[in-house]
């Protein structure tokens, strides 16, 4: 469900978005302590966002915009938490970035792209490919492809897919064991 409030000032607008069946809204956001809001670095194809952008072509929620508040919260870490958890979000969005937001956007966008490239280089092993049941060097639990996806990096080290995925989303672009660069 999408509602629009008419209050609009200097390139900013408000939008109220309602999650459908608890599904994510499809935005990847970046922020740092002390920054003015969050920046949108990726927009997925969620039904709610697609509908909003179709109904409001001059007030699009898109990559490169800033979110100045989420449910009237303005501190970035609290905004992120509210954005993830709330079933309804009242967003104040600014379509142009100030200098600090632009720097944050460029750095976060580069990191996001690097992570996506590294994830594309992961190969998932099938149940017969893993030579022996060995512990994952990230979580130290046994890797059993029958119960968890096991990923192999280009350097041939194996990890639980979820663990190495988390490693990559933290901005680390190398193998956790040998430090071979992935990107």
Neighbours of 55 (CB within 10 A): 10
Least confident of 75-89, 103-117, 162-176: 162-176
* Residue 6, helix vs strand vs coil: strand
For residue range 44-77, list pLDDT tens digits in order. 888 999 999 999 999 999 999 999 999 999 999 9
User: pLDDT tier at 2 (50, 70, 90 boundaries)?
Assistant: very low
Query: pLDDT (tens digit, 9 = 90+) per residue, 22-46?
Result: 888 889 999 988 889 999 999 988 8
**DSSP for 23-74?**
----EEEE--TTSSSEEEEEE---HHHHHHHHH-TTS---TT-EEEEETTB-
């Amino acid at each position: 469900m999408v509602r629009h409030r008419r209050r609009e000032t200097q390139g900013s607008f408000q939008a109220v978005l309602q999650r459908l069946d608890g599904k994510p809204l499809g935005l990847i956001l970046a922020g740092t302590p002390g920054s003015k809001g969050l920046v949108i670095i990726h927009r997925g194809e969620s039904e709610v966002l697609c509908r909003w952008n179709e109904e409001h072509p001059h007030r699009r929620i898109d990559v490169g915009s800033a979110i100045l508040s989420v449910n009237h919260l303005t501190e970035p870490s609290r905004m992120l938490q509210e954005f993830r958890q709330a079933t309804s979000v009242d967003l104040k969005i600014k379509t142009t970035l100030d200098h600090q937001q632009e720097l944050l956007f460029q750095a976060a966008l580069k990191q996001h792209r690097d992570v996506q490239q590294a994830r594309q280089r992961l190969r998932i092993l099938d149940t017969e490919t893993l030579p022996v049941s060995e512990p994952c060097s990230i979580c130290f639990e046994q890797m059993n492809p029958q119960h968890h996806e096991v990923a192999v990096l280009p350097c041939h080290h194996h990890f639980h897919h979820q663990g190495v995925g988390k490693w990559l989303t933290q901005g680390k672009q190398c193998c956790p064991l040998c430090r071979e660069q992935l990107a």
